[in-house]
Amino acid sequence: MLKNGLEKQEILRILEEKLKLDKLYDSGSILGSMCTEPLDLGIEICMKYISKNLGDPGLFLGTTALEQELVSEIGELFGGKHIMGTFTTGGSEANLIALRIAKKLRPDIKNPEVVLSQSAHISFDKAADLLDIKLRKAHLNEDFTLDMNHFESLMNQNTCGVVGIAGTTSLGLVDPIEEIGKKTDGKDISFHIDAAFGGFVLPFLENLNLHSSPWDFSVKSVDSITADPHKMGMGVIPTGGIFLRDKSILQKIGFEIPYLAGGNFKHLHIVGTRPGGTIIAFWAILKSLGINGFNKIVEKCMDNTNYLVKRIGGIKGIKIATKPVMNIVGITTENGDTICKIDEELRKRNWMTGKFEKLNLIRVVVMPHVQKVHLKNFVKDLENIVKILKF
């Protein structure tokens, strides 16, 4: 650490230099991220209220009330009434909270298990490890959808929870939520939906008549939903969210915090101190965009998604892995050869996509920062690579 502090100008200069290493969303090269540039208003509001700490809600009663208002608005967007919930550091923390709830509500099960798809995000492996839960992962069908027969066969007397995914990390697919729900009906099993990515896509796809199968609280056995503002919600990092049907959960299994300046309270979080600014920012983002603003964002993402799908269809040697449900496109090889070489060549040309080796696919997430011109350039490089590698 320096003995004497530097002038602001000098600090800014050094940072400018050091952060040149970072990729920028608007450069067009980030094609594999589920985050994007937040709405400008969100950044402004977040900075204004940056010191609000929801880890001590008694000190920030206004921010706490705003969080609850936001939760209930989102709960309604997700087909629920009087939904409770809270914002988290992201989908991983929200999924960890969901698995903890599933375990805690079934103290009678000595060796708790959770059934979910092989497509489930790595955050469930982390949560299971931390909570000492056994994950039972159901196979996928040829078309990457969930094998429901296998899923059902994994449920047994140790099952404390099941998870349905509404927007898989690899391909954006939606599990058959109603069908999973039927398997939990009348059983004392928590049913959690991971819509970390899909939560702020699916309601708008429905408005655009581009999706219809129920995935949210409209399915009566759904107990909780993860949905992240810092993905397709245009929110500021870090903002994840968990939404719960049962208001009594907090009292039942919340952690009591005994020492706070604002007075004791209970929470479900893993973190203590947590940002209020990002949540106030998301409140402002929802007010600013409204349903129509989100419809437009999602419509543009889907238009670009369809453009990419069409262009990939014209390249011999590669193909799309499956028809996209949302703004995620998986690209694989036609003859089953490894996709890794293509990924390597793309990276050399500065394209930052995600690679899913087990599924042998490259993933393009067509986020709001991705423009058609970026995709045109990407396809041009992809065409050349496929030719050079002689696929």
By the criterion CB under 6 A, which residues form the site for ligand PLP?
A: 34, 90-92, 95, 121, 123, 167, 169, 194, 196-197, 228, 240
CA distance 280 to 294: 18
Query: Min. distance of Cβ 331 from ligand PLP in angstroms?
Result: 18
**3-state class (DSSP) for residue 187:** coil
Q: HSE (CB half, 13 Å, CA atoms) of 146? A: 29
Q: Which of 125, 73, 127, 115 is nearest to 282 (CA)?
A: 73
Closer residue to ligand PLP, CB minimum distance, 113 or 194 = 194
Task: Of 352, 363, 234, 366, give the one whose Cα is nearest residue 300.
Answer: 366
Question: Of 92 and 353, which CB lies nearer to ligand PLP in the complex structure?
Answer: 92
- Rounded distance between C-alpha atoms, residue 235 and residue 283, angstroms: 9
- State the minimum distance, in angstroms, from the CB of residue 195 to ligand PLP: 8
Q: Strand, coil or helix: what is 172?
A: coil
Minimum distance, C-beta of residue 51 to ligand PLP, in the bound complex (Å): 23
Of 164 and 240, nearer to ligand PLP (C-beta) is: 240
Compare residues 29 and 169 and give the one whose CB is closer to ligand PLP.
169
β-pairing verdict for 255-257 and 265-267: antiparallel
Give the nearest distance from C-beta 373 to ligand PLP in angstroms: 26
CB of 330: closest distance to ligand PLP in angstroms?
14
Type of residue found at 374? H
Closest CA to 333 of 374, 382, 269, 284: 382
Shortest distance (Å) from residue 67 CB to ligand PLP: 18
Closest separation in Å from C-beta 156 to ligand PLP: 25
Location of structure tokens 């066969």: 153
Which residues have C-beta within 8 Å of that of residue 74, sequence separation ≥ 6? Answer: 83, 85, 227, 241, 243
Contacts of 93 (CB under 8 A, 6+ apart): 240, 269, 270, 271
Q: In angstroms, what is the minimal distance from the CB of 143 to ligand PLP?
A: 19
> Judged by CB, which is closer to ligand PLP: 56, or 228?
228
Of 116 and 302, the one with the shorter C-beta distance to ligand PLP is 116
The torsion angle over the Cα atoms of residues 214, 135, 183 and 211, rounded to 10 degrees, is 10
Please tell me what DSSP assigns to residue 38: P
Direct distance between the N- and C-terminal alpha carbons of the chain, in angstroms, rounded to an integer: 53
Task: Identify which of residues 191 and 197 has a Cβ nearer to ligand PLP in the complex.
Answer: 197
Q: Which residue in the shown chain puts its C-beta closest to ligand PLP? A: 90
Nearest-approach distance from CB 273 to ligand PLP, in angstroms: 18
- Residue closer to ligand PLP by CB (options 318, 367) is 367
**What tokens were used for 78?**
């997700």
State the nearest-atom distance from the C-beta of 240 to ligand PLP, in Å.
5
- Which one, 98 or 289, has the nearer CB to ligand PLP? 98
Using alpha carbons, list the distances in angstroms from residue 204 to 222, 229, 350, 388: 20, 14, 32, 40
Q: Which is nearer to ligand PLP, 194 or 223 (CB)?
A: 194
- 390's CB contacts (< 8 A; 6+ apart) are none
